[in-house]
Amino acid sequence: MAKQVFQDKKAIFSLMIKVRQLNLSVEVFIEIFERLIIPVLLYGSEIQGYGAIKQLQVMTNNFMRKMLKLHKSTPVCMLIGELGLKNSSEYIENRMLNFWCNIATDDSKISSILYKWIKIRYN
């Protein structure tokens, strides 16, 4: 998990440098963050679940504060609410539910067939 956090920090701070160089608006920054950084942060979260959710949330909050030039004492709920983001746990829950829904409902994939076979065998 430490390697993933290191990669996440690299991606986040390279984005921050580009956003500042290009003088992009906060709306564009948030859009880029949700499309490029969130997938890097949550890579494999469908399987791993809530492994190091606190580390990811702290890193995301610190990054948002630095990007918006806010003090460390700024409440997280205000930061997330103002930007329209979700907590990391909400992103992870969404990805986990989509993953298991795809496995449980699709009939053509091998993983779905194995899931149904194991479910029948152990119930």
What total of structural domains would you count in the chain?
Answer: 1
Is residue 75 scored above 70 in pLDDT?
A: yes
| pLDDT tens digits, 107-122 | 777 877 888 888 888 8
Q: Are 80 and 119 in contact (CB under 8 A)?
A: no
- Structural domain of residue 107, as residue ranges? 2-122
Six token digits for residue 84: 């329209």
Query: How much is the pLDDT for 22?
Result: 92
Six token digits for residue 14: 């390279």
Confidence of residue 11 (pLDDT cuts 50, 70, 90): confident
